Copies of this chain bind each other. A is one copy, B any other.
Amino acid sequence: MEVNSVRKRETYHHGSLREELVEASVRLIETEGIGAVSLRRVAREAGVSPGAPYHHFADRAALLSAIAARGFDLLTQDLLSAVGRSPGASRTDDVVRVAAAYVTFARRQPGHFQVMFRPELSQPEKHPAVQEAGDAALKVLTDLVDRLGVADPQAVGITLWALGHGLASLTLDGLLALKAEAWNTDPDDLLARALGQIGRSFDVGDPGATAP
């Protein structure tokens, strides 16, 4: 079944087909899952012939790569604003905030997130823009960790990344909600407690944050 955005157009040229293809794809992922995203279907959503997308994207992977790269850009912004806007906060609070921002991004932009970490879909080796955008996002984490003054910033940076990514994945896949149900707990509360646990764990390497 088509979404209701297939209204005919009168002009031969679409005008902004590239953007609309991306938007339609993200919308489709969020509503019907990534399995519903086919080039033909997306073209149909945009009211355009099956071959038209190929003037804007080399192939299906290129379309998904564009979505992934855009997603990493959005994530970078969210992570940056989570770190930046906290004048009186400790570094440890920044860690919790950035991890929370990671998860929040996954929940608010599920369409982007589901494509970002699927190399077989976005084929980053063929589309280096994805890799660069991903590096920029990771850099926010590593920069934060560098300012933390821990013994092994690289290891802590990877750990923080894995933590945020793991929490986001489990949340998005519904596994966290499932576990919350089994435990008779509110999913949001469980997530908040896990994030708090992260903060307490990272207190180990933070000399200045333990004072009340």
Contacts of A200 in B (CB 8 A): 204-205, 211
Residues of B within 8 A of A38 (CB): none
8 contacts between A and B (CB under 8 A): A33-B120, A117-B169, A134-B175, A155-B196, A159-B194, A169-B169, A197-B205, A201-B204
Complex partner residue of A155 from B33, B162, B197, B204, CB under 8 angstroms:
B197
Chain A contact residues, CB within 8 Å of chain B? 33-35, 117, 119-120, 131, 134-135, 138, 152, 154-156, 158-159, 161-167, 169-170, 173-176, 178-179, 182-183, 185, 190-191, 193-194, 196-198, 200-205, 210-212
Residue among A156, A178, A182, A197 with max Cβ neighbours from chain B (10 Å): A197
B211 touches A154 (CB 8 A): no
Residue of B nearest to A175 (CB): B134
A34 in contact with B152 (CB, 8 Å) = no
